[in-house]
Structure 1
Amino acid sequence: MAAHPILPPSELATWLRAQPTLTGTAPPLHLDDLPDDPVLLFREWLREAAAAGVPEPHAATLATVDADGIPDARTLILKDVDARGWAFAGARSSRKAAQLGARPAAALNLWWQPQRRAVRVRGTVEEASATESDADLAARSESARGGLQPGDWVLWRVVPTRVEFWQGASDRNHTRIVYRRVDGRWQLAAPAPVSAPAPSSAAVPGSLVR
């Protein structure tokens, strides 16, 4: 196979590299007082983002995979977050409904730039009851319903197996907090700088199992 020639950076590439990054201000992070459940930490971070004036802090990017294994993503609004999972909704006739029907797994990503914070959630996806889905549709304004009728709207939940909280730092010594669901319990890995070598096992000295 012929080697690709090494081309000089394009004008766009040069411009992109010159753009500022991590321009926000990170809030204090209390690593010695983390909750056992990622839902609690997520709610805390979400409310802090809203209180700090982060625009639309409940907007999340949902990633799915279609029947052919091709990934897709779109931005939507979270409906709720509780012990059952991260809830979102959409039309039953939508592309995401077809993709979730074929492959019921997904990932969510939230990025709160002013606070240098991001949250990633991944897991299986479950469809809520018809009663819950219809109630969510009824809660929308008439214009937002757009003629949709009960049964046309679906509420789903990402049932998480992994939740990651990330806080950036200007010196690139970012912090990552990872919760993993193992045998029905949440395991919290000891928070460490992103630049640190990844542990070979969850059972390393200093790790937290909760």
Structure 2
Amino acid sequence: MPSPHDGLPETAQGPAAEGAPFDLFERWYEEAAASELNDPNAMAVATADANGLPDVRMVLLKHRDSRGFVFFTNTTSAKGRELAENSQASGVLHWKSLRRQVRFRGPVEFVTSEESDAYFASRARDSRIGAWASRQSSPLAARKVLEDAMEAETARFEGQQVPRPSHWAGYRIKPIYLEFWSDRPFRLHDRVAFTRMTPQGAWEHGRLYP
């Protein structure tokens, strides 16, 4: 179980040490990986279209460092189209076993082709083939249409490597806001927020009322 104070500072106000929120995130993530039954990297990502209408779905956090939080998807999917129109997003990870959550928001950028290639190559072969077979977020007349497409792509790549489709890539959310929430009795929860003006700026941090 986590320590009584979850690594959060007893007082929080003013400038934060460089890397502080990411160091804390890493400690929390390691504890979640040891305690969560399924997918400690499950992350809700919210995007918005050009009119500002929000859209949210679950994805998997596949990489994290001081640059931000990375997930991969079909760039022609709904979230890919929305990010093309409005390259900002927010995310949240909720770890029920620890009664903690982390949420963040900021601008979004593509990861490098090399990063996308490396992660794509690490996926199960059928998942790589599925990336070619699925027209993610497009209308599907019947399940059999997808199954037939999967069979056709499986045959096409038989005996060879499955390359990454050009429409499949990684996105990095570069946080300018990063908040750590920890459950406390009587809903007097702990909230510490780290903020900065730009993804390259210095962090400030402060405590929030629950």
Q: Indicate whether the TM-score tops 0.5.
A: yes
Are residues 1:169 and 2:145 paired?
no
How many angstroms apart in 2 are the aligned matches of 1:172 and 1:109?
19
Which residue in 2 is equivalent to 1:60? 43
Which residue in 2 is equivalent to 1:180? 195
Matches within 5 A, 1:195-206: none
TM-score relative to the length of structure 2: 0.74
Which residue in 1 is equivalent to 2:95? 112
Deviation of 1:164 (Å): 0.3
Paired residue type of 2:95: W
Which residue in 2 is equivalent to 1:11? none
SS of 2:174's partner is strand
Deviation of 1:169 (Å): 1.5
**Aligned Cα RMSD in Å?**
2.0
Deviation of 1:27 (Å): 4.5
How many angstroms apart in 1 are the aligned matches of 2:46 and 2:131?
27
Q: 1:81/1:147 Cα in 2 relative to 1: closer, same or farther (>3 Å)?
A: closer
Paired residue type of 1:31: L
SS of 1:160's partner is coil
Residues 54-82 of structure 1: per-residue CA shift (max 9 Å, x gap): 43111000000012221101101001111
How many angstroms apart in 1 are the aligned matches of 2:8 and 2:40?
22
Paired residue type of 1:187: E
**How many residues were matched structurally?**
169
| Larger deviation, residues 146-155 vs 68-77 | 146-155
Matches within 5 A, 1:23-34: 27-29=3-5, 30-32=7-9
How many angstroms apart in 1 are the aligned matches of 2:92 and 2:52?
20
SS of 1:31's partner is coil
Paired residue type of 1:89: F
Runs (5+) with no aligned partner, structure 1 = 1-24, 195-210
How many angstroms apart in 2 are the aligned matches of 1:100 and 1:40?
28
Are residues 1:139 and 2:116 paired?
no
Matches within 5 A, 1:53-132: 53-132=36-115
Residues 129-151 of structure 1: per-residue CA shift (max 9 Å, x gap): 22221222111111111153422
Which residue in 2 is equivalent to 1:207? none
| Larger deviation, residues 117-126 vs 67-76 | 67-76
SS of 1:185's partner is coil
How many angstroms apart in 2 are the aligned matches of 1:169 and 1:55?
24
Percentage of pairs with the same residue: 36
Runs (5+) with no aligned partner, structure 2 = 133-162
How many angstroms apart in 2 are the aligned matches of 1:111 and 1:154?
25
Deviation of 1:31 (Å): 3.3
Which fold has the larger relative contact order, with Cα–Cα distance below 8 Å and residues 6 or more apart in sequence? 2
Paired residue type of 2:89: A
TM-score relative to the length of structure 1: 0.74
Deviation of 1:156 (Å): 0.7
Q: Which of structure 1's runs of 4+ aligned residues deviate more than 4 A?
A: none
Contact 2:193 2:208 in 1 (8 A): no
How many angstroms apart in 2 are the aligned matches of 1:76 and 1:110?
10
How many angstroms apart in 1 are the aligned matches of 2:131 and 2:68?
28
